[in-house]
A and B are shown apart, each in its own frame.
Chain A
């Protein structure tokens, strides 16, 4: 099943092209990583899927239904707000800087949205929250405030928080870029476990070895365009495009 579909998506920051005619499909259970030089539009692409960035034209569908559709002349197709909310709830997101709520404990961070947005009972949410903390290996930190745990632990809590809304697709925006090198491994391991459970994931990353290991597909972006979209071997091992060859060579 088609989980995410982007059709002719364009986005500009002033006169700078952030996304140029992006066409992308991600299927159920697929793990797709997006790589490329900084400023290439990777994060913008990811963030436009859950509308943290507004696109200027194109169409984005979640599970076959549109969340945004704008023709080339800027005409918006009207989409019911309830539909957008329902579809957006299928997405979870993990941020580079974690963005945990500092005034809430680890467990409160996880149960906040299930309780407030979905109206779940606090006890039920807490039970699920504790299970999620267990899967990311942080049960003992449930009553800690984010300021008291390490960066790697914060990101694992952030992953658990995203999973708390039971999403179908997890969007990860450079999940290890803000971490000390020795803390990267624990976060990547957590994501790898999710990939093994057939969670649909789109991951923007600079971790080449990780991308190669977990990805079903790798997408290479440069200057707002998708230059390559294929299996890790196709994209990384024998890159056709000189930009990709150039980029990949820096990591060996």
Chain B
């Protein structure tokens, strides 16, 4: 029992990196993705095409490769980033691409009549988007966004490859030292707690917004 508590404590110390990375990614990617989605829907064609290309590249290549590229690859050009900076940057760029497409589909699913009513009431583009379209569109995209959030929690484990110590790495260290399966089980349980938190958060949000259905 003492072993389990000590091991859990050690693994949890790696958990703070996981959480930090998730928070930074969410804070960076969500606003960017909304802005880009609006750019795709209402911007000039060239912007739409460019953002489409961006989504194509970052959804179409492995996140691990992108992480290598930004951390190791860029150093060839004299740009050397700290591991946390490189990881944050990679995750934000990657998740923005996915979320942009999710939000875009949400925006495009809103009935034209909503735009027409807003225009007939003389609301500006930004007023219409901020107050009428986005609240409805974002609500519709909660289920796929929840999927992305869960994936994000788990994807953060990839930062091991650039030498960072997250919760999975802590577990691996204990395993290497003690050669026992327990640390992996503890790590799995911690991931389950984290992802359950994410699911619970989204469920609450959906419930709160259900009132108008």
- Contact between A99 and B123 (Cβ–Cβ < 8 Å)? no
- Contact between A103 and B212 (Cβ–Cβ < 8 Å)? yes
Which listed residue, B113, B116, B120, B121, touches A112 by the CB 8 Å rule?
A: B121
Whether a CB of chain A sits under 8 angstroms from the CB of B45 is no
Kindly report which residue of chain A lies nearest to residue B127, judged by CB atoms: A116
Q: When chains A and B are docked, how far (Å) is the Cα of A169 from the Cα of B117?
A: 16
A219 CB → nearest B CB, Å: 21
Which listed residue, B120, B131, B213, touches A93 by the CB 8 Å rule?
A: B120
Write out the residue numbers on chain A whose beta carbons fall within 8 Å of the beta carbon of B111. Answer: 99
- Chain B, 44-58, contact with A by CB distance < 8 Å: what is the 0/1 string? 000000000000000
- A92-B120 contact in complex given A103-B135, A103-B136, A103-B139, C-beta closer than 8 Å: yes
Write out the residue numbers on chain B whose beta carbons fall within 8 Å of the beta carbon of A88. Answer: 122
- Contact between B116 and A113 (Cβ–Cβ < 8 Å)? no
Q: When chains A and B are docked, how far (Å) is the Cα of A147 from the Cα of B212?
A: 7
Q: When chains A and B are docked, how far (Å) is the Cα of A88 from the Cα of B120?
A: 8
Which listed residue, A85, A92, A145, touches B212 by the CB 8 Å rule?
A: A145
- Chain A, 97-114, contact with B by CB distance < 8 Å: what is the 0/1 string? 111111110000000110
Whether a CB of chain B sits under 8 angstroms from the CB of A243 is no
- Chain B, 189-213, contact with A by CB distance < 8 Å: what is the 0/1 string? 0000000000000000000010111
Write out the residue numbers on chain B whose beta carbons fall within 8 Å of the beta carbon of A147. Answer: 212-213
- Contact between B136 and A102 (Cβ–Cβ < 8 Å)? yes
Q: When chains A and B are docked, how far (Å) is the Cα of A85 from the Cα of B121?
A: 10
Determine the main DSSP class of B at the interface with A: helix
- Contact between B116 and A99 (Cβ–Cβ < 8 Å)? yes
Whether a CB of chain A sits under 8 angstroms from the CB of B119 is yes
Kindly report which residue of chain B lies nearest to residue A101, judged by CB atoms: B132
- Contact between A100 and B139 (Cβ–Cβ < 8 Å)? no
Write out the residue numbers on chain B whose beta carbons fall within 8 Å of the beta carbon of A89. Answer: 122
- A52-B127 contact in complex given A99-B113, A101-B132, A103-B139, C-beta closer than 8 Å: no
Write out the residue numbers on chain A whose beta carbons fall within 8 Å of the beta carbon of B116. Answer: 52, 95, 99
- Contact between A50 and B120 (Cβ–Cβ < 8 Å)? yes
- Contact between B122 and A117 (Cβ–Cβ < 8 Å)? yes
- Contact between A102 and B212 (Cβ–Cβ < 8 Å)? yes
- Contact between B212 and A117 (Cβ–Cβ < 8 Å)? no
Write out the residue numbers on chain A whose beta carbons fall within 8 Å of the beta carbon of B127. Answer: 116-117
Kindly report which residue of chain A lies nearest to residue B213, judged by CB atoms: A147
Most chain B CB neighbours (cut-off 10 Å) among A98, A101, A165 = A101
Kindly report which residue of chain B lies nearest to residue A114, judged by CB atoms: B121
- Chain A, 151-171, contact with B by CB distance < 8 Å: what is the 0/1 string? 000000000011001000000
- Contact between B120 and A52 (Cβ–Cβ < 8 Å)? yes
Whether a CB of chain A sits under 8 angstroms from the CB of B147 is no
Which listed residue, A50, A92, A101, touches B114 by the CB 8 Å rule?
A: A101
Q: When chains A and B are docked, how far (Å) is the Cα of A98 from the Cα of B113?
A: 8
Q: When chains A and B are docked, how far (Å) is the Cα of A95 from the Cα of B117?
A: 8
- A101-B123 contact in complex given A112-B131, A116-B131, A145-B211, C-beta closer than 8 Å: no
Kindly report which residue of chain A lies nearest to residue B132, judged by CB atoms: A101
Write out the residue numbers on chain A whose beta carbons fall within 8 Å of the beta carbon of B113. Answer: 95, 97-99
Write out the residue numbers on chain B whose beta carbons fall within 8 Å of the beta carbon of A165. Answer: 121-122
Which listed residue, A85, A99, A104, touches B122 by the CB 8 Å rule?
A: A85
Q: Which of B101-126 contact A (CB under 8 A)?
A: 111, 113-114, 116-117, 119-124
B137 CB → nearest A CB, Å: 10
A151 CB → nearest B CB, Å: 14
Q: Which of A120-154 contact B (CB under 8 A)?
A: 145-147
Kindly report which residue of chain A lies nearest to residue B119, judged by CB atoms: A52
Q: When chains A and B are docked, how far (Å) is the Cα of A89 from the Cα of B135?
A: 25
Kindly report which residue of chain B lies nearest to residue A113, judged by CB atoms: B121
User: Could you show 15 A-B contacts with beta carbons less than 8 Å apart?
Assistant: A95-B116, A98-B113, A101-B117, A102-B212, A103-B136, A103-B139, A103-B209, A103-B212, A112-B123, A145-B211, A145-B212, A147-B212, A161-B121, A165-B121, A165-B122
Smallest CB-CB A-B distances: 4 pairs: A99-B117, A113-B121, A99-B113, A93-B120
